[in-house]
Chains A and B, each alone.
Chain A
Amino acid sequence: MSDQPIEEDEPLEAIELGKLPLDAWHRDHGARMVPFAGYEMPIQYEGIVAEHEWTRSSASLFDVSHMGQLALRSPENDPELAARELERLLPGLITSLKPNKMRYSMLLTEEGGVIDDLMVTNVGPHLALVVNGACKWDDIAHLREHLADEVTLTHYDDFALLALQGPEAGDILEELIPGTGALTFMTADLFEYDDGHIWVSRAGYTGEDGFEISVHEGSVAKLADVLTSDDRVKPAGLGARDSLRLEAGLPLYGHDLTLETDPVSADLTFALSKKRREGGGYLGHGPVMEAFNNGPAAKRVGLKIEGRMPAREGADVFAGDTKVGVVTSGGFSPTLGQPIAMAYVDAAYAEEGTELICQVRKKSLPATVTSMPFVAHKYFRGN
């Protein structure tokens, strides 16, 4: 038997793996550690399906400290400069982002390719960026290369990032840190914890209600202990995070988003703000608008697959005898009890209900184009 690693983007043998602040905590809690984004990270504790189901029914604690936590600061005589500068690199409206609001966006190349996807938050005195762990060093180089010199870029590599996700997350965090329960989806604020400050965002990547909590590395083990001492919270690993985000229809950078994809083909046009579509002024605006106006050649779609055999990344997608696309991530959905996938298919075959075939090891698996999310989002948007 050969066990293929879940991530094989980078040859990792030659790279020394980093340790995250909760490394020992994960091992103490029975985690199986694997290389991911240059770190040793927990892929699972008791099992992916159990952790997946616990997240959907109660609450799970994920360590996502591998992600890059960055800040952009403007010079004092021009508080808007950082937002204006960042807008030159992405298609979202940042200058009008109100304090404590967050926005999902993508750093783009001149050709419209996706360098990374990220969250931008208006923290008040500055902009906070959360970028993918595997991309953070390239992102920093890209930002530094393009942003005006007066904009200060800080990498908070001494901060951990925890995600508390699940239907019970709101009650649990409100009991521990009063005030957090009043946050609504895609808003964030500063709270006091353990004689220090933590930054709490009502967001996540599971499709469930929940939070991401930025906390200093010195306090993170204590916070993880306190959270998991609540019977409603169990730790969950990257395996469950992947199956949860797939059910939620959320693309994963390096798989469903790459330099070869653009926001339109990725079906993320919600992130192309109208004002920015018209006004332009960002890298990739021309190619992105061409795809927006004329339709993309290929499009990211969801596929529900018949039977139980998953179609995974790299599986070819056919319409009859014609290859029309390729699966970019796929697996078995614990919630639906069937295999699901994301694929890029020729635009002519992207319509919901289109019957396609996934080719897996010479087997033809019937698949149907399905709207995403596969499992409904349960974000908290207020009472």
Chain B
Amino acid sequence: MPRYFTDEHEWIDVEGESATVGITDYAQEQLGDIVFVELPSVGTMLDKGGDAAVVESVKAASDVYAPISGEVTEGNEALEEEPALVNSSPEEDGWFFRMTIGDKAELEGLMDDKGYKAFVEAL
């Protein structure tokens, strides 16, 4: 299952016609203790680069952007009870939402694992 990354520190797993989105370990580290995640409701149409979710850490609210365009099909309900999953398991159990892939071509501009690693190291 290929995983892509954005320069806004979101990751996106692509599985057939569906994708799972979350924020990277680097992102959660920067945000600190996460106390609330506001997820888009199922059926929301997302535009690539547009607002998708909001992460509330103790210190600030931060926007999470849609890595691609598509429709939200599921939100991670576990985050409602335990938002700290984003800190403890950002790239697995702390996923944010699943969505359809509106346009596969939009994936092409994203980074792969290696590219993202280099991107973070250069920050």
Using Cβ atoms and an 8 Å threshold, which residues of chain A touch B25? Answer: none
CB of A48 within 8 A of CB of B33, answer yes
Partner of B8, one of A2, A43, A52, A363: A2
Which A residues between 47 and 62 are near B, CB-CB below 8 angstroms? 47-49, 52
CB of B58 within 8 A of CB of A243, answer yes
CB of A43 within 8 A of CB of B59, answer yes
A2-B59 contact given A44-B32, A361-B38, A361-B54, CB 8 Å threshold: no
A279 within 8 A of B: no
B85 within 8 A of A: no
B39 to chain A, nearest CB (A): 11
Main secondary structure of the interface of B (DSSP, over half): strand
Considering residues B30, B54, B58, B61, which has the most beta carbons from chain A within 10 angstroms of its beta carbon?
B58
* Cα distance, A5 to B57, chains bound together (Å): 12
Interface size on B, as a range, is: 20 to 34
Q: Mark B64-108, 1 if CB is under 8 A from A, else 0.
A: 110000000000000000010000000000000000000000000
A24 within 8 A of B: no
* Cα distance, A87 to B9, chains bound together (Å): 54
Partner of A308, one of B32, B35, B57, B65: B35
- Subset of 16 A-B contacts with CB under 8 Å: A1-B27, A1-B55, A1-B63, A1-B65, A4-B60, A4-B61, A5-B60, A47-B32, A48-B58, A239-B58, A308-B36, A309-B36, A310-B61, A331-B58, A332-B56, A361-B38
Assuming A43-B59, A332-B36, A334-B33, what are 16 further A-B pairs, CB within 8 angstroms?
A1-B27, A1-B55, A1-B65, A2-B8, A4-B61, A47-B32, A48-B32, A49-B32, A52-B58, A239-B32, A239-B58, A239-B59, A243-B58, A309-B38, A310-B61, A331-B59
